[in-house]
Structure 1
Amino acid sequence: MNDLRHLRDLHLAPGQYPAGRSHLSAASALVRCAGYLYVVADDELHLGVFRADDGAPGQLLRLFPGELPAAPAERKAAKPDLEALALLPAMPGYAQGALLALGSGSRPNRQQALLLALDERGAVRGAPRLIDLAPLYAALHLQFADLNIEGAFILGQQLLLLQRGNQGQAGNAAVHFAWPAVQAWLLGQAAAPLPQAVQILALGELDGVALGFTDGAALADGRWLFSAVAENTTDSYRDGACLGAVLGLVEADGRIRRLASLGPQWKVEGLALQQRGRRLLLNLVTDADDPRIAASLLALELELPG
């Protein structure tokens, strides 16, 4: 797509990475808050923090203790697999809102979340709070044989979690939770809620390979955007060849419109938007499935259909 712009690679300031690497590689979700871009990478124990409006190298904020193995197979088995990052509204104890980073749920060790308070400038303040996702995910494991949560965002009074389907497996779904009930659970005031609804969504294919959700973001009118990739894999654990990525729109009645094809070059895994009327300013982050290659930050402008 000619309008898709490469802004920069996600390089880190010197000394940030524990093992000396100079970049984030496997960016898996993106949130824009005030002047910050927050990035989770599915093979890291840290949150990437970048300035939104300049090209300065990023900083790392530790989320989990310890270090991951360097060898690819061992690292894959041990990683917390953070695949979703949501910007939460103000709530008791979090007057300026919070970030919620969620594991995919695809393995027992991938059922953890981190809750991070924000200050009035949109910066993270204080230490992250670890949350066990197993109570929230229990009902989802009954619904999906291969749970793989890839996106999370607030839509009105609901929290939506995006389940990614795989080639030849169960399809994609948007899992709707009542946000007040999730908030009460996060604050330790109630048990984990059950989903209000599970919305199965057919995203279609690219070159015969099924599209699977990678992230989503709410629009002001109740509709929502999603990114999806065609990755030739049959389960949530193994990576496969990526044949391309798309952006789409889910209407209030569940109808899907494919808005843009992003081509085979970019495996887009994270999406953040700024809305100005019908004009959308999008930032996207990528995962090259290769730790030697830096994730990229992309930009795209779109006109919303009526």
Structure 2
Amino acid sequence: MLNPVHLRDLLVDPALHPRGQAHLSAASGLVQVGRCLYVVADDEHHLGMFEADAGFAQPVQLHRILPGDLPRNNGKRKTLKPDLEVLALLPAMPGQPHVALLALGSGSKPNRQQAFLISLDAEGKPGEAARSIDLTMLYQPLREQFADLNIEGAFIAGQRLHLLQRGNKGDGRNACIEYAWPDFQAWISGVQAIPPRAARISEFALGHLGDVPLGFTDGTPLPGGGWLFSAVAEDTSDSYNDGACAGSVIGWVGGDGKLQCLEPIEGAPKVEGIALVGDDRLLMVTDSDDPKVASQLLRLELVN
């Protein structure tokens, strides 16, 4: 059993939050760039940004990536939100001297097929306005294999971009979908008009917690090859409706692409984003699916 340390709640200045909340409540994805940590809020039009060593009370800064604001009503907001569940760190793009962030919609509904490319400056801060990318053509072939598409994680490793498809009670298949990074980069940078086809799709049997299947929520590459992932047992039969969280696990995939092991996380937090710091510390963010509850930043010490 992995025992996380609670580092902080993701508090914000309520005067700057679009609904006046004093916290982010739906943090997904987690990326570190220098001293900065980024999360994407799946029920907002913003990134959250804060320093990795910031004190508990230091507010998270909000960086807008879409115009306008979502409705205050929970049901209407859920229907209209872009469902940005994924945040990935990209190397410098052609014509850009610094790294970038890519936020992707889950694809679980037609209005959730949009990505945003966010350029960063030399200090790792957002520069120009985010550029929107239509994911419809990228996701269409994936729907032929996964009717209930739900992309929840992404990372680059070994010159390939990996997308993580999350299963549920209706379809328990989890998958890692790989694209040749040069081809994917050519598409999102506008050099290539047609998105690439997946180079490989590998399905993973993650098992259950109780009678609830585990589903991918995020992934991060390991320095020596392979990757880590978070997975959650959420009691729902589709990618749209929320359900009770039976718990979360961290899993290891080897350089050969084989699942090596799973370890449950003490306290059953709903982990939606992870980032590896050094070789043995894993940062995690949570999403309780309740607007009244702040997302948390947690830390795990990994033992090889």
State the Cα distance separating 1:189 from its structure 2 match: 0.8
Corresponding residue number in structure 2 for 1:181: 183
Counterpart secondary structure, 1:159: strand
Amino acid at match of 2:181: W
Corresponding residue number in structure 2 for 1:194: 197
Q: How does 1:139-288 map to 2 (within 5 A)?
A: 139-190=141-192, 191-276=194-279, 280-288=280-288
Q: How does 1:49-60 map to 2 (within 5 A)?
A: 49-55=49-55, 56-60=58-62
Counterpart secondary structure, 1:141: helix
Counterpart secondary structure, 1:124: coil
Write the distance in 2 (CA, Å) between the matches of 1:213 and 1:2. 17
State the Cα distance separating 1:125 from its structure 2 match: 1.1
Contact preservation (8 Å) 1:162, 1:216:
yes
The 3 A distance-change label for structure 1 pair 145 and 2 is closer
State the Cα distance separating 1:282 from its structure 2 match: 0.8
Write the distance in 1 (CA, Å) between the matches of 2:273 and 2:10. 13
Contact preservation (8 Å) 2:161, 2:179:
yes
Write the distance in 1 (CA, Å) between the matches of 2:257 and 2:100. 28
Q: How many residues align?
A: 301
1:99 to 2:105 alignment: no
CA RMSD of aligned residues (A): 1.2
Contact preservation (8 Å) 1:116, 1:129:
yes
Write the distance in 1 (CA, Å) between the matches of 2:227 and 2:135. 24
State the Cα distance separating 1:135 from its structure 2 match: 1.6
Write the distance in 2 (CA, Å) between the matches of 1:109 and 1:241. 25
The alignment-based identity, stated in percent, is 56
Write the distance in 1 (CA, Å) between the matches of 2:7 and 2:271. 14
Write the distance in 2 (CA, Å) between the matches of 1:20 and 1:170. 37
Write the distance in 1 (CA, Å) between the matches of 2:145 and 2:137. 14
Corresponding residue number in structure 1 for 2:34: 34
Counterpart secondary structure, 1:145: coil
Counterpart secondary structure, 1:162: strand
Contact preservation (8 Å) 2:166, 2:216:
yes
CA shift digits 1:214-256 (9 cap, x unpaired): 0000011220000001111110000111100000001122321
Contact preservation (8 Å) 1:246, 1:258:
no
Contact preservation (8 Å) 2:153, 2:163:
yes
Write the distance in 2 (CA, Å) between the matches of 1:93 and 1:22. 38
State the Cα distance separating 1:123 from its structure 2 match: 1.4
Corresponding residue number in structure 2 for 1:90: 92
Q: Which stretches of structure 1, 4 residues or longer, exceed 3 Å deviation after superposition?
A: none
Moved more, 150-159 or 65-74: 65-74
Corresponding residue number in structure 1 for 2:126: 124
TM-score by length of 2: 0.96
Contact preservation (8 Å) 1:159, 1:179:
yes
Which structure 1 residue ranges, 5 or more long, are not aligned?
none
Write the distance in 2 (CA, Å) between the matches of 1:204 and 1:184. 37
Counterpart secondary structure, 1:263: coil
Contact preservation (8 Å) 1:243, 1:264:
no
CA shift digits 1:243-284 (9 cap, x unpaired): 0000000112232133421135310000011233xxx21110
